Chain A
């Protein structure tokens, strides 16, 4: 099977007839729905760029299973260079869409499961790895999008899964049959779920004794019987329903999150990759999170490139591009953005080859990467708003600009530098608005904070791997802690003659 074209991807998505609900109604023609289509365009871009020779080095990889060229989003990393190319590919896609393009979660899920299934088999004598490799080959050969579904709604966070008043707040096994399992529950905040052909479910936390039914990982088609999606709202989302696209800011692209519901879904054994092995659930969570924290060192950087460019254009259109404080703010935004990229690359180049044969990022540096992501985009966004000026949030609408009577007034007073059309100035300001507080801010800001784990999750991992005892020993050695101190050798400083 060849790589899919963007058109084939969109058609294949329509053919799934997913059960999607939005504003309390089932959406049948979801590929043409104005709220959903921008997110589909993002995903389609992962196919479009893969077909372009000038992006092939990043977008394609060679499958270690078949030796065939595949989309990198379905690839198991085979080297540190592969890990770095992943980050660069994500930056490229962030640049091309100015948005979350959603395909990373599946890539990070397959790479985490690859080593965890192998290690489970070594310890328990199971055959999860071979099952998983067969499934992976299917994803690669059909060039499919898989949603990596980890986050459960979690209910009362003080209680473990098996003590929840309603166990459905964690995806769990409700029945084991000769031919497979039946699962129930939900996964929250599912990025790109309605743009996926397949779902890969993983546990959301390290499971303990009593939680065996919740330690479950499996894959199923996105249109499996019993699976439905409730589409998540985004800031300013109904602007996409307006007749004009100017006020959206990013007309073609956008992110997507959904609540994914499993209502007694049957999964055959050949697609089950964890079933009660609580001792491996923590490793799966950590590895998926680690890969995803690396991802943000690419995708958010690409969106940051767009925002920095928009801020620089706004300054130009305002006639202040040469002001020293503007130049300095652009430098600061660039410095922060490239620092994030450095973290993404660093955890890649310090990656290791796992016993299963795949390559995994350095966990400490991946968590440092994501911790910075929880902060720097906010500062980049603040600086962009600073440069853009208040007009970004007080500007009249596209309808006003188009109005026969009011339009000329808007044009007269929204003029910037005389060679810049007012419409272009408005477009750039709307783009900044989109990324800093509109629909795009879902991906650029809040997703940067909570996606791949909230800040505290990274701090726990950083603490665990910080090697603090070594640092204390270094300090002791330099300060000569523990060395006998001879008081008698202490002399008062001699006055310098002068």
Chain B
């Protein structure tokens, strides 16, 4: 996993190692709303190239993320807990999403 220079950005991107990419990981990261004030600072997006979800430690939904639709075991996410989104191949938080719509789907979730 590699952190793509998160300190100076609004959204931290965590990549998997990239051995089996079904999607263009860099393109997804490039289209994320880094300057959008509606996106809470400190948000994290795990970007894995395939369904194995290595960037998020093999979890299709981040541990403890409590947004609506964020999995069966999510804890409540208050303002002090910025969102964590998981992209794994053509899944966003476990929901099938065409590769061309991944960044848009992540952006919507970041603003929820």
Q: Confirm or deny: B21 has a beta carbon within 8 angstroms of a beta carbon on chain A.
A: yes
Q: List 4 tightest A-B contacts by C-beta distance, closest first.
A: A355-B94, A353-B59, A355-B71, A357-B72
Is the pair A352, B73 in contact by a Cβ cutoff of 8 Å?
no
Contacting A467 at CB < 8 Å: which of B22, B61, B71? B22
Besides A352-B60, A356-B71, 11 new A-B residue pairs in contact (Cβ under 8 A), listed by A number:
A118-B72, A351-B58, A352-B58, A353-B58, A353-B60, A354-B60, A354-B94, A355-B71, A355-B93, A357-B73, A363-B51
B88 at interface (Cβ–Cβ under 8 A)?
Answer: yes
Query: Which A residues touch B94, using CB under 8 A?
Result: 119, 354-355
By a CB distance below 8 angstroms, the chain A residues around B21 are 467, 470
A residues near B, CB below 8 A?
A: 80, 118-119, 122, 350-357, 362-363, 467, 470
Chain A residue at smallest Cβ distance from B52: A350
Whether the Cβ atoms of B58 and A80 lie closer than 8 Å is yes
B17 on the A face (CB < 8 A): no
Q: Is B51 a contact of A352 with CB atoms below 8 Å?
A: yes
Say if the beta carbon of B110 comes within 8 Å of chain A: no
Complex contact B61–A355 (CB within 8 A): yes
B20→A467 contact, CB < 8 A: yes
Contact indicator per residue, chain B 55-85, by CB within 8 Å of chain A (1) or not (0): 0001111000000011111000000000000
Which B residues are within 8 Å of any A CB, using their own CB? 20-22, 50-53, 58-61, 69-73, 88, 93-95
| Contact, CB under 8 Å: B61 / A353 | yes
Q: Pick from B72, B88, B93, B95: contact of A356, CB below 8 A.
A: B72
Task: Enumerate chain B residues within 8 angstroms of A356, measured Cβ to Cβ.
Answer: 71-72
Decide if B50 touches A467 in the complex (CB within 8 Å): yes
In the complex, A470 Cα to B59 Cα: how many Å? Answer: 23
Least distance between B14 CB and chain A CB atoms (Å): 16
Q: How far is the CA of A80 from the CA of B72 in the complex (A)?
A: 18
Chain B residues with Cβ under 8 A from A354's Cβ? 60, 94
- For the complex, give the distance between the alpha carbons of A357 and B72 in Å: 6
Residue of chain B at shortest CB distance from A121: B72
Q: Which residues of B contact A362 (CB under 8 A)?
A: 51-52
A467 CB contacts on chain B under 8 angstroms: 20-22, 50
| Minimal beta-carbon separation of B75 from chain A (angstroms) | 12
Closest A residue by C-beta to B63:
A353
Q: Which residues of B contact A351 (CB under 8 A)?
A: 58
CB distance from A368 to the nearest CB of B (A): 13
> A350: which B residues are within 8 A, CB to CB?
52, 58
Residues from chain A with Cβ under 8 Å of B70 in the complex: 355
- Interchain CA distance A342-B33 in the complex, whole Å: 42
Among residues of B, the one whose C-beta sits closest to the C-beta of A365 is: B52
Q: Using Cβ atoms and an 8 Å threshold, which residues of chain B touch A357?
A: 71-73
CB-CB under 8 A from A353, the residues of chain B are: 58-61
Q: How far is the CB of B18 from chain A (nearest CB, A)?
A: 10
Of B22, B72, B95, chain A has the most CB atoms within 10 Å of the CB of B72
Is the pair A470, B20 in contact by a Cβ cutoff of 8 Å?
yes
